[in-house]
């Protein structure tokens, strides 16, 4: 009997090698019906592993990285047996087809589809849909795989997903409660949407500041798919959204990309219509800001699309929405599975044309600007190169001596001289369209109403002088960097101060207990002049450090940080090293508020900045605990963007002011300024826009109100601020600074205090800003300091850490911590 079963199994097994019977279903592996429970990230991965084990000839799971919380991230490559044997050849053919790899492709008839699930952790139906989609592809939809490689990322943001699901599992009732007021439908701060550092990974594709993005881009650029879908969820009362997207479309998007996303949308509509499901297209979700999971792939040649199911962090396993419908997880994941399969179907049907059009996309001979030439601070150039490398965008060094074209600094035609350090990025390279998107001075807007910021031009973000030219600038490949000299025994060592790299060097020294000075005035020594903020490390100050010179040399080498030796404390041009104008940098003890009332995004940006960029300790204090917090343990308290009405009660405000009077320093960012504006004892005041056309507003037809309102909006636009670079907050800066304004909030110049950066020029250099909003910005504060007793309030109207990509703003933040009002506070 046993023998017979064995024989039957072998026969049956071999006949149905790739049929549903040998492929475990999600229900088999999970132990519950899919959609009746949320699956934790490891359960999702377990399912993918089980399927790989069952059909290794058709599924290959690749571990492409780890999250901050040490969860593994996987990609599943799913295709026919024949394609699987050829996977590497198919990949190379695709890159050759795009001109990203030398040589001619041997075949270009396979479509590559990449499906990304759960980038927002609390939009949790999508990883469930990933499992069902995998199962259906291998059971019912085998035919589609004959000419298609499907790459599935079941969980782009595993830390966020598990944050949401662990919270839901410990909170939800059994059976689930459909009342939307129930606690299981109301996530606590910060929610499961972002990653560990509370970054929105669907805003991070270009900046790649997060490990998840960085590791994903490495594989993405190796594969360069033809279709990329980012699965999301929207509010519980919304139906389903799929392509075609809304205007504005970036002008770089080709007719084919526009047309094919309409075809895909129509294919989805066919399935949705058959079931009577509601959906909408061409509204809300536009294709402009390049750092999304739809735009980034689009600007890299793919059909990049966002699909949005109603649900989100509120929905749980089931919820009664405002239309009287009980929306369930089963329903949500079914819709996402339907669009996923329909997408693969369309790619398979059009595989040949996808390849032909993909090849055309990478021909960039006709872009208006042929070269972007950038010069300036070497550290800033070097961090820009790091970014370009993440996208495999090519760059070279200039060999011309003078270039003319659009001059970013003036916003007009101009020219400048260049030396061999100047960076040249040509647009006629395979990734030329992305080059245009990232470098062009001003993005063309077909519509001012957009989902996100409208300006990000890299020369402004990196603080580099740049020209965009319509003729190709001559260039050659980069010379390799010179190595650093080993330090000799000297009286002291001086470091320049004008970049984040210098700030990282300072943080490393402070952490190793070095005593470091900084100068408030320029000085000359050993025939060199050092600007404000320059760091001085003397042997005399650091006698407590054993083998000080060799230790300093080690840190300098590790940071590739050059130092200038000085032989005496007697300067050629004063101040001397012992002057009161050259002060010790205090080893600041820093705290930051987090939790209810604070913006989780801004808090996350600050947290990430200290841990992953500056590498300097920071203590996070929950706003709930603020009343009981002993502030005397810190020198600096950072208030992220947020609403502090509850936290800063009268008692707490008194406590804060007393601490500042005694020498404490508050750094308030963006919305946090509202807590102080117009309040007793503060000279900060909010500037309201003069509404001189109230009457006219009332006569605007209902249908035009939204558009009319956009006159009052700024949706991420670049302005040129005047800078007082003699103030410690602006050490290392020029006398102007291009700032990214994220909204129309405006504050008057400080009557008493220092207006360190402010707008007295309201020209919009890039991005959209409504005319009323712009008018109101004249003579307003960007960065300032107001002293109180021995301490200070530092105001940052514009958030220099926004999404961590505005590189040139970061030193203002560091200066605020270490250089402004450096009276050492006695702890």
- Summarize as ranges the residues that interact with Zn ion (CB under 5 A): 120, 123, 232
Nearest to Zn ion of 165, 796 (CB atom): 165
Q: How far is the CB of 243 from Zn ion (least distance, A)?
A: 15
Characterize the bridge pairing of strands 590-594 and 636-639: parallel
Distance of CA 473 to the CA centre of its chain: 31
Q: How far is the CB of 280 from Zn ion (least distance, A)?
A: 16
> Which two tokens mark 13?
């097994």
Nearest to Zn ion of 329, 354 (CB atom): 329
Q: How far is the CB of 287 from Zn ion (least distance, A)?
A: 15
* Distance of alpha carbon 670 from alpha carbon 640, whole angstroms: 7
Nearest to Zn ion of 231, 818 (CB atom): 231
User: What burial class does residue 38 get, using C-beta atoms within 10 Å of its C-beta: 0-12 exposed, 13-18 middle, 19+ buried?
Assistant: buried
The H or E element that residue 310 is part of is: strand 303-310
Q: How far is the CB of 119 from Zn ion (least distance, A)?
A: 6
Nearest to Zn ion of 280, 709 (CB atom): 280
Q: How far is the CB of 232 from Zn ion (least distance, A)?
A: 3
* Distance of alpha carbon 766 from alpha carbon 444, whole angstroms: 10
Helix or strand or coil: residue 272? helix
Nearest to Zn ion of 79, 195 (CB atom): 195
Nearest to Zn ion of 308, 345 (CB atom): 308
Q: How far is the CB of 735 from Zn ion (least distance, A)?
A: 42
CA 29-32-38 angle, to 5 degrees, is 95
* Distance of alpha carbon 680 from alpha carbon 651, whole angstroms: 14
Angle between helices 329-349 and 255-275 (to 10 degrees): 130
Cβ-closest residue to Zn ion? 232
Exposed e or buried b per residue across 679-693, where buried means at least 16 C-beta atoms within 10 angstroms of its C-beta: eeebbbbebebeeee
Q: How far is the CB of 234 from Zn ion (least distance, A)?
A: 7
Cβ-based neighbours of 207, under 8 Å, separated by 6 or more? 213, 291, 387, 803, 804, 805
Q: How far is the CB of 309 from Zn ion (least distance, A)?
A: 10
Which residue reads 């963006």 in tokens?
A: 670
Q: How far is the CB of 336 from Zn ion (least distance, A)?
A: 12
Check the CA dihedral 335-339-344-350 and report its sign.
positive
CB 758 within 8 A of CB 749: yes
Check the CA dihedral 553-559-560-561 and report its sign.
negative
Nearest to Zn ion of 168, 795 (CB atom): 168
Q: How far is the CB of 445 from Zn ion (least distance, A)?
A: 23
Closest CA to 152 of 67, 61, 82: 61
Nearest to Zn ion of 292, 456 (CB atom): 292
Nearest to Zn ion of 229, 669 (CB atom): 229
Q: How far is the CB of 286 from Zn ion (least distance, A)?
A: 15
Nearest to Zn ion of 41, 116 (CB atom): 116
Exposed e or buried b per residue across 331-343, where buried means at least 16 C-beta atoms within 10 angstroms of its C-beta: bbbbbbbbbbbbb
Q: Which DSSP state fits 140?
A: T
Residue 78 has phi, psi (to 5 degrees) of -125, 125
User: What burial class does residue 612 get, using C-beta atoms within 10 Å of its C-beta: 0-12 exposed, 13-18 middle, 19+ buried?
Assistant: middle
* Distance of alpha carbon 380 from alpha carbon 808, whole angstroms: 8
Q: How far is the CB of 238 from Zn ion (least distance, A)?
A: 12
Q: How far is the CB of 117 from Zn ion (least distance, A)?
A: 11
Nearest to Zn ion of 120, 803 (CB atom): 120
* Distance of alpha carbon 800 from alpha carbon 696, whole angstroms: 36
Nearest to Zn ion of 120, 436 (CB atom): 120
**Beta strand residue intervals within 79-163, DSSP E:** 111-116, 148-153
Nearest to Zn ion of 238, 798 (CB atom): 238
* Distance of alpha carbon 765 from alpha carbon 406, whole angstroms: 12
Q: How far is the CB of 70 from Zn ion (least distance, A)?
A: 24
Q: How far is the CB of 797 from Zn ion (least distance, A)?
A: 29
* Distance of alpha carbon 609 from alpha carbon 616, whole angstroms: 9
Nearest to Zn ion of 120, 250 (CB atom): 120
Exposed e or buried b per residue across 9-35, where buried means at least 16 C-beta atoms within 10 angstroms of its C-beta: eeeeeeeeebeeeebbbbbebbeeebb
Nearest to Zn ion of 285, 518 (CB atom): 285
């Amino acid at each position: 009997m046993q023998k017979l079963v064995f024989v039957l199994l072998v026969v049956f097994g071999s006949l149905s090698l790739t049929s549903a019977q040998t492929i475990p279903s999600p229900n088999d592996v999970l132990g519950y019906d899919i959609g009746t429970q949320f699956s934790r990230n490891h359960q999702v991965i377990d399912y993918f592993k089980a399927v790989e084990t069952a059909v290794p000839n058709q599924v290959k799971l690749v571990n492409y990285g780890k999250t901050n919380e040490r969860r593994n991230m996987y990609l599943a490559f799913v295709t026919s047996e024949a394609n699987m044997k050829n996977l590497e050849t198919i990949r190379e053919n695709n890159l050759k087809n795009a001109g990203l790899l030398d040589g001619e492709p041997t075949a270009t008839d396979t479509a590559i589809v990449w499906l990304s699930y759960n980038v927002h952790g609390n939009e949790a139906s999508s990883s469930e849909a990933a499992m069902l989609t995998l199962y259906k592809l291998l059971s019912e939809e085998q035919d589609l795989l004959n000419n298609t490689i499907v790459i599935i990322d079941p969980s782009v943001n595993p830390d966020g997903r598990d944050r949401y699901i662990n919270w839901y599992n410990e909170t939800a009732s059994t059976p689930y409660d459909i009342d939307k007021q129930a606690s299981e439908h109301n996530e606590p701060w910060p929610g499961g949407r972002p990653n560990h550092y509370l970054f929105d990974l669907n805003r991070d594709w270009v900046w790649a500041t997060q490990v998840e993005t960085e590791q994903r881009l490495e594989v993405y650029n190796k594969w360069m798919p033809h279709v990329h879908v980012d699965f999301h969820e929207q509010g519980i009362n919304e139906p389903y959204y799929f392509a075609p997207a809304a205007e504005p479309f970036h002008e770089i998007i080709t007719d084919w990309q526009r047309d094919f996303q309409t075809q895909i949308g129509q294919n989805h509509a066919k399935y949705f219509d058959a079931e009577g499901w509601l959906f909408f297209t061409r509204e809300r979700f536009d294709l402009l800001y390049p750092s999304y999971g739809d735009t980034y792939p689009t600007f890299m040649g793919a059909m990049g699309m966002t699909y949005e199911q109603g649900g989100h962090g509120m929905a749980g396993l089931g919820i009664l929405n405002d239309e009287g419908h009980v929306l369930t997880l089963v329903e949500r994941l079914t819709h996402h599975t339907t669009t996923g399969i329909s997408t693969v179907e369309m790619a398979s049907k059009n595989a040949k044309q996808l390849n032909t059009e993909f090849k055309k996309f990478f021909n960039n001979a006709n872009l208006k600007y042929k070269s972007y030439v950038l010069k300036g601070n070497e550290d800033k150039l070097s961090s820009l190169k790091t970014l370009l490398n993440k996208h495999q965008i090519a760059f070279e060094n200039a060999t011309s001596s003078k270039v003319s074209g659009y001059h970013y600094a003036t916003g007009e035609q101009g020219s400048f001289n260049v030396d061999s350090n100047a960076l040249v990025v040509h647009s006629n390279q395979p990734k030329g369209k992305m080059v245009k998107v990232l470098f062009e001075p001003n993005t063309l807007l077909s519509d001012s109403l957009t989902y996100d910021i409208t300006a990000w031009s890299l020369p402004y973000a990196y603080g580099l002088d740049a020209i965009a030219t319509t003729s190709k600038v001559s260039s050659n490949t980069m010379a390799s960097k010179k190595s650093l000299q080993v330090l000799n025994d000297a009286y002291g060592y001086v470091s320049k101060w004008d970049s984040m790299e210098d700030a990282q060097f300072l943080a490393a020294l402070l952490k190793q207990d070095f005593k470091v000075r900084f100068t408030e005035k320029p000085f000359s020594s050993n025939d060199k002049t050092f600007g404000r903020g320059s760091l001085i490390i003397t042997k005399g100050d650091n006698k407590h450090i054993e083998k000080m010179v060799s230790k300093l040399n080690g840190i300098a080498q590790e940071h590739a940080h050059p130092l200038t030796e000085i032989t005496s404390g007697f300067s050629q041009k004063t101040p001397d090293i012992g002057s009161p104008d050259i002060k010790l940098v205090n080893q600041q003890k820093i705290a930051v508020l987090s939790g209810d009332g604070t913006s989780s995004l801004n808090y996350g940006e600050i947290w990430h900045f200290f841990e992953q960029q500056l590498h300097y300790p920071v203590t996070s204090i929950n706003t709930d605990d603020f009343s009981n917090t002993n502030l005397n343990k810190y020198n600096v308290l950072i208030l992220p963007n947020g609403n502090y009405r509850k936290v800063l009660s009268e008692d707490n405000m008194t406590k804060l002011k007393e601490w500042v009077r005694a020498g404490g320093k508050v750094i308030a960012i963006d919305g946090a300024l509202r807590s102080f504006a117009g309040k007793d004892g503060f000279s900060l005041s909010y500037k309201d826009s003069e509404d001189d056309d109230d009457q006219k507003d009332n006569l605007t037809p209902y249908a035009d109100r939204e558009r009319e309102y956009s006159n009052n909006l700024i949706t991420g636009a670049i302005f040129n601020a005047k800078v007082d670079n003699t103030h410690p907050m602006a050490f290392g800066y020029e006398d102007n600074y291009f700032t990214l304004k994220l909204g129309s909030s405006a504050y008057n110049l400080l009557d008493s205090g220092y207006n360190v950066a402010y707008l007295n020029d309201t020209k919009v250099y890039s991005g959209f800003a409504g005319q009323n909003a712009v008018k109101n910005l004249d003579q307003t504060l960007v960065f300032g300091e107001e002293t109180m007793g021995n301490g200070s309030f530092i105001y940052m109207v514009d958030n220099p850490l926004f999404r961590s990509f505005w590189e040139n703003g970061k030193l203002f933040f560091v200066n605020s911590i270490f250089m402004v009002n450096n009276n050492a506070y006695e702890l």
